[in-house]
Amino acid sequence: MDQPGPSPLELNRRNWDDRARIHGQDRIYDSRALIAGASSLTEVELEALGWAVGEVNGLEVIHLQCHIGFDSISLARMGAVVTGLDFSPVALARAADLARRCAVRLDLVQSEVCDPPARLHQRFDLAYATIGVLCWIEDVGAWMRAAFGLLRPGGRLVLVEMHPLQAMIDTVDPLVLDIPYNFDGPHVFDSPGSYTDRDAPVDSTVTVEYSHGLGEVVSAAIDAGFEIRRLAERTDSPCDHRGDLGPADPDGRHRLRLGGGLVPLLYTLVAQRP
């Protein structure tokens, strides 16, 4: 009898372990700048935090799918008490080293995001997640229920995410769509490198990804018990997160044009646990 292959979760963990080993000195993650005191938060994340909580100073924050901890460190420098949660042990080791070099204290927890340890339940004022997190999640309802369970009553969720319309597009000219707008099950990709560098040496190139339309995400948040406070969409971005938008416009913003229109690139969801 054939032995079963690795699960989607394990395939993705192997890929993210590899990415964590190479991320750090590239167009997305500049470790030297972070250690020197730069913040990794763009105006998009800062705007979202302002909508959600105003100031994070003194708040207990859980950074979901924190990867190598750049935003965790930046939030801690703003006065938050930060717990970073991720399923990749390599990423968490990198985050711990960066936090030490930045003289910042983080509590780092290895866990699958949809099943966080019970000791974290109802501990946090803010759950924070940004960009490229939900495409790895099969059950967005489980993700929202986990985020809800981590928050104290009155706690807020900040989700800054790639817009599902942008996520659909593989190439613009010719226009090729490689993933649907709404959830239809797993999609397997075998792609070299990383979004930071397509030529980077990554051994585990197979990933399993999922689509989640905006309506599905908002409905999942409501079904989990959240009250929606704000939903905003953006047709510009301060960063080319996938590495396929091309040069920035003269104002330094990235945009994606189809015909005479602009494709939405990001959305921000702010929700509250009653």
Mean predicted confidence (pLDDT) in 58-71: 98
Any domain includes 3: no
Q: Tell me the residue range of the domain where 44 lies.
A: 8-272
Mean pLDDT of the chain: 94
**pTM of the shown model:** 0.95
What's the confidence (pLDDT) of residue 24? 85
Torsions phi, psi for 120 (to 5 deg): -95, -10
Distant-in-sequence, close-in-space partners of 90: CB < 8 Å, separation ≥ 6:
16, 17, 18, 20, 21
The whole-number pLDDT of residue 245 equals 86
Question: How large is the C-alpha radius of gyration of the chain?
Answer: 18
Report the number of distinct structural domains present in the chain: 1
What does the alpha-carbon distance between residue 205 and residue 193 come to, in Å, rounded to a whole number?
A: 7
Within a domain: 1: no
Sorting pLDDT into bands at 50, 70 and 90, what band is 3?
low
Give me the mean pLDDT over the 102-120 stretch.
Answer: 98
pLDDT exceeds 60 at position 110: yes
Q: Any bridge partners for residue 269, and if so which?
A: 159, 231
Angle at 164 between CA 6 and CA 182, to 5 degrees: 70
CA 132, 25, 179 angle in degrees (round to 5)? 25
Asked if the structure places residue 2 within a domain, the reply is no
- State the pLDDT at residue 269: 98
| Residue 91 forms part of a structural domain | yes
Is position 27 within any domain? yes
Strand 187-190 to strand 206-209: parallel, antiparallel, or no bridges (unpaired)? Answer: antiparallel
Q: Any idea what the Cα angle at residue 42 is, between residues 158 and 88, rounded to 5°?
A: 65
Query: Distance between CA 134 and CA 140 in Å, rounded?
Result: 7
Whether residue 91 contacts residue 24, with contact meaning beta carbons closer than 8 Å, is answered with: no
- Given this model, what pLDDT does residue 137 score? 98
pLDDT band at 1 (very low <50, low <70, confident <90, very high): low
Angle between helices 89-101 and 70-77 (to 10 degrees): 40
Give the separation between CA 23 and CA 18, rounded to whole angstroms: 9
pLDDT for 75 equals 98
Q: What is the CATH number of the domain that holds 86?
A: 3.40.50.150
Give the residue with greater pLDDT, 259 vs 9. 9
Angle between helices 8-22 and 89-101 (to 10 degrees): 30
pLDDT tens, residue by residue, 137-179: 999 999 999 999 999 999 999 999 999 999 999 888 888 998 9
